[in-house]
Amino acid sequence: MKKYKDFMANFEKGELVGIDIGLSAVKVALLSNPKKNRYVLQNYASIPLSEAAIIEDEIQKPDEVIDALIEAMKKAGIKKKIVNLGMDGPNTMTKRLQVPDGSKEDIEDNVLWESEQYIPFGADESEVAFEVLGKMEADDVVDTIVAALKVSVAESYMEVAKSAELIVRNVDLNVFAISNMFEVIVGDKLQEYSEVGTIIIDFGAQKTTILVYKDGGPILTKEISIGGVLITEEIQRQMGVSYEEAEDLKTNGDENGNLPEEIVAIIQDQSDTLMAEIKKVLNFFIAVGSSEQAGACFVTGGSCKLPGLIDTLQELVDLEVEILNPFEAVEFDKKSFNEEDLDEIATTGLVSLGLGLRRS
């Protein structure tokens, strides 16, 4: 009977469960089909992973990740098994390419040919997909966004999902989940943000992802191997406390809820290091004063709430920095989610919600 149900699931249409297997947690989200262009968050859960369960994008502790997936689905109360699985890390690649126009087959050949030189983990070992965003001013050139993923890494994640009795319908890149959620959130203002160029930064636990959205899609995606965990480890080292105590100090402060000056100083030092890396990325890809200069900036990720981080970023980009809040566009059942839940999901759950936008 189970085999029959699994077989029939291949023909199901509609909602997909967004599955974000991150370096520090597994997150699952289920959004209802949109009504009047409004999605509704039906179910969500996040289950933490131990340190080194996943290193970069290589799963080191598959049993733990499988158990976390099973627990997350159970905690969220999600019965559906058809999922959209997100991927990121060094074995993924995105690139904006302009290639000669032609038939669908011609464009595909041109994209595959051009993209080979940009795939650091080898085109022969990769799955490559692309989307045509539009024609350039020259009628014989089209603007495309290309994504590549190392097949062996994708298969390892799919095998983990299969072991958790999930059926992977799509494998997506997390940067596109962020980009798609951005489009939904800004809604009618998308054209404006697209024209001026918008910086979107995901401040994660173990890495920071930078995305610049312009002219209908990402023109830049870059990962920096610095995240909130580094700050926790530095607090642990300097203050002589356990990792758990350091994390508590970083997020909650002392017994009175205040951040000691020493903690503030550590956070600021690490934030300055991160900002220096962000500046390198933006300076390399965005020439100041050129047509590529960005005109807006949004942030997401749990580490974006670190004291002083947004103020420091605003000085760096010389723009007002806003939190990319999915609940400006996504509705929810007030009986299922309290204010604390929503505050947490808004920053740490945006990728899983973006993955949940996809439909089969």
Asked whether residue 241 is assigned to any structural domain, the reply reads no
pLDDT reading at 164 higher than 60: yes
Q: pLDDT per residue over 281-304, tens digit each?
A: 888 765 544 445 789 999 999 889
Per-residue HEC secondary structure of 255-285 comes to CCCCCCHHHHHHHHHHHHHHHHHHHHHHHHH
pTM of the model: 0.91
Position 303 in a domain: yes
Contact 325, 333 (CB under 8 A): no
* Greater model confidence, 153 or 247: 153
Q: Which of 2-6, 70-74, 187-191, 268-272 has the lowest mean pLDDT?
A: 2-6
* 111-140 tens-digit pLDDT: 999 999 999 998 899 999 999 998 887 678
Same domain, 155 and 128: no
Instruction: Let me know whether 126 and 189 are in one domain.
Output: no
pLDDT bin (cut points 50, 70, 90) of residue 33 is confident
| 3-state SS assignment for residue 4 | helix
**One domain, residues 181 and 274:** yes
Residue 7 has pLDDT above 60, yes or no: no
Find out whether 84 and 17 touch, Cβ atoms under 8 Å.
yes
pLDDT at 289: 43
Quick check: 5 pLDDT over 90?
Answer: no
Q: Is residue 29 part of a domain?
A: yes
Shared-domain flag, residues 76 and 116: no
User: What is the mean predicted confidence (pLDDT) over 273-278?
Assistant: 93
State which residues form the domain around 121. 92-146
Q: Are residues 130 and 226 in the same domain?
A: no
| Average pLDDT of every residue of the chain | 89
Share of the chain above pLDDT 70, in %: 94
Rounded CA gap, 19 and 356, in Å? Answer: 8
Residue 64: the pLDDT is 97
One domain for residues 107 and 220: no
CATH code for the domain in which residue 343 is found: 3.30.420.40
On whether the CB atoms of residues 270 and 231 are closer than 8 A, the answer is yes
**CATH number where 121 lies:** 3.30.1490.300
Condensed to tens digits (0 to 9), the pLDDT of residues 315-352 reads: 999 999 999 999 999 999 888 899 999 999 999 999 99
**CA-to-CA dists, residue 174 to 100, 110, 216, 354, angstroms:** 28, 25, 17, 8
Residues 269 and 169 in one domain: yes
Percentage, residues of the chain above pLDDT 90: 66
Whether residue 161 is found in the same domain as residue 215: yes
Cβ atoms of 83 and 16 within 8 Å: the answer is yes
Residue 292 is predicted with a pLDDT of: 59
Residue 217 sits in the same domain as residue 287: yes
Residues 151 and 292 occupy one common structural domain: yes
Give the tens place of pLDDT for each residue, 166-213. 999 999 999 999 999 999 999 999 999 999 999 999 999 889 999 999
9 pLDDT exceeds 70?
no
- Residues 21, 131, single domain; the answer is no
Whether residue 125 lies inside any domain: the answer is: yes
Per-residue pLDDT at 286: 59
Give 66-95 pLDDT, tens digit per residue.
999 999 999 999 999 999 999 998 999 999
Rounded Cα–Cα distance for residues 263 and 190 (Å): 39
Mean pLDDT of 31-45: 87
pLDDT band per the 50, 70, 90 thresholds, residue 142: very high
Indicate the residue among 146, 169, 192 that finishes a domain.
146
